[in-house]
Each structure stands twice: as C-alpha cells, then as structure tokens.
Amino acid sequence: MIFYNRDIFKKADIIPDKNWNIENFYANAKELKKYVQTGFCTEFDAVSWENFVSIDSKPIFTDEKLTIADKASTDALQKLSDKINEEGLGANKEQISLSPCAQLFMNQKTAMFVSGRWSVPKLNSNPKLKYGVLPFPKGQSKYYIPLNSSGWAVYKNSKNKDAAIDFVKYISSDENIEKMVNSGLITPANKKIADSNNFKNGEIFIDIIEKSTPNNVPADYNIIIDKVNNAAISVLGGYKTAKEAIEPLFKEY
C-alpha cells in the first residue's frame, strides 16, 4: 500500500487516484519533491521493493523457481534504482539509514511511503499527521501485487504442547483479534471481524486482497530471499546494475 501525506498532496495540487499506475506514481513523486526532501520512500527490503518489481511481471518465486531475473523484473528494479539515485525522487540508502521511511513520513520529509497495515498505529500516534492510503499503483500491462500473511503454529516437539495449543486458541480468538484490529495493527483474516464495525476505515486493506496474489514460499525461502534482498540492496544503493546483481542468482537457482 502507499501511505500519502494529504497536506503535501494538496500543496502540490495532486488529487489522490486509486486507479493510478506506476508512471503516475513517479510523476507525482517528482512534483511532490518540490515541497519535501523526497517524493517517496521504500525500505530496502523485499516486502517493500518487491511491489515495484512484480507489478508488470510475476512473483519473485514461481513454482519454487526464482523468476526475478526476467527482463521485466530487472528493468523495473533498475528503474526504481534510477528514480532513487539518478533523479533523487526517492529516499536513498543514506537517508533511510538515518531515519526509516515511517519516521521520514511522520516528520514530513517524504510525501509517500510503501508499507502495510502494521504502520497504522505508529502513524496514528501523531495526531497532527493527516494521511491517506492508496493501493499500490498498477503496472503498464498487468496488475500483480504480492500478498503475505502471518499465522500461528505449534512445534511438533514442543515440551508443553497442550499449553501452546491453548495459547494459539487464545491469540487467534475473536476477542483478541478484535483487540489487534482496534489497534490498527492488522488486517483480519476472520471475515466476520473484517465485515464488522470494528474494522471501519480499513476497507481499502480488504479490497486489495481480491487483486493480490499469495506469494510462493519454497522450502529454502529464507536462504534465497536473503541473497535476493542483498542483491537488490546493491542495486537500490547504486552500487550495481540490476543485471549485474540479479543474473548470478538466476544461474544459481
């Protein structure tokens, strides 16, 4: 999702459009940069940059194969790097290392940042901040948005399996999920709660689910994603081209 500063959008005379595309996003960032330090901010982690890479292509993993090295993906990653490092539209590595995107946004140093529902409590802690939420922009030819979710499990060799199961039942109960929803922290998987008044103003987080695609997670996902993310960081940091960084991974996987 894209969180945007309503006041800065108003100064730039930009009307938020939920049907925007990636070119609109970059054009808006260029105009918004006249009023703030950076037009947009995305953390240098896969949860954030994957959105830019996947919208006109396909997920990082398809049928347990690494697919990020296709031309559309590497072109999109290179374009994001160029917007950050060559055109200065997005927060660069140095700026993010001093202050994460959410903090830059709260301090009105950036007009837009990429995040999810989990950022809502932090943003709401600043009553002076007027922000809105837009779906991630569309690509030029298709609309692929990765969907990630969290859940609970009990280790099969747990020494206190019954207590662990009781805890999972408690933390996933309607009562507890409603508490987390009311904090603004999560988008509930429980449809009853999602449809309730407790999730008011959270409709955009529900609506985007229908347009999203669950991420494939191979058995060695953690190992592979670390290597992919390190490669992407070298691109977004301006140290390598996308082709230089990604091609060796494609050959490996």
Averaged over successive runs of 10 residues, the pLDDT of the chain (253 residues) comes to 95 94 95 96 88 73 64 87 96 92 95 91 90 88 69 89 93 86 77 68 74 73 84 93 84 62
Spatial CA neighbour of 154 closest among 144, 163, 145: 163
Instruction: Tell me, yes or no, whether 56 and 170 share the same domain.
Output: no
Instruction: Tell me, yes or no, whether 8 and 132 share the same domain.
Output: yes
Any domain includes 31: yes
Instruction: Tell me, yes or no, whether 178 and 197 share the same domain.
Output: yes
Any domain includes 229: yes
Neighbours of 225 (CB within 10 A): 21
pTM to 2 decimal places = 0.84
End-to-end alpha carbon distance in the chain: 29
Neighbours of 234 (CB within 10 A): 18
DSSP 214: E
Instruction: Tell me, yes or no, whether 240 and 136 share the same domain.
Output: yes
Any domain includes 172: yes
Structural domains in the chain (count): 2
Any domain includes 154: no
Any domain includes 192: yes
pLDDT at 208: 75
Instruction: Tell me, yes or no, whether 91 and 141 share the same domain.
Output: yes
Q: Which contacts qualify for 235-239: CB closer than 8 Å, 24 or more apart?
A: 235/77, 235/78, 235/81, 236/44, 236/49, 236/77, 236/80, 236/81, 236/84, 236/85, 236/93, 237/44, 237/85, 237/92, 237/93, 238/81, 238/84, 238/85, 238/92, 238/93
> Which range marks the domain in which residue 188 is found?
161-210
**40: β partners:** 90, 112
Instruction: Tell me, yes or no, whether 90 and 179 share the same domain.
Output: no
CATH number at residue 15: 3.40.190.10
pLDDT at 59: 64
Instruction: Tell me, yes or no, whether 101 and 193 share the same domain.
Output: no
Determine if residue 154 is left, alpha or beta; phi over 0 gives left, psi from -120 to 50 gives alpha, anything else beta.
Answer: beta
Instruction: Tell me, yes or no, whether 183 and 219 share the same domain.
Output: no
Instruction: Tell me, yes or no, whether 60 and 119 share the same domain.
Output: yes
Amino acid identity for residue 159 in this structure: K
Any domain includes 114: yes
Instruction: Tell me, yes or no, whether 135 and 86 share the same domain.
Output: yes
Instruction: Tell me, yes or no, whether 132 and 175 share the same domain.
Output: no
Distance CA 237, CA 224 (A): 20
Any domain includes 84: yes
Any domain includes 156: no
Instruction: Tell me, yes or no, whether 219 and 184 share the same domain.
Output: no
pLDDT at 178: 84
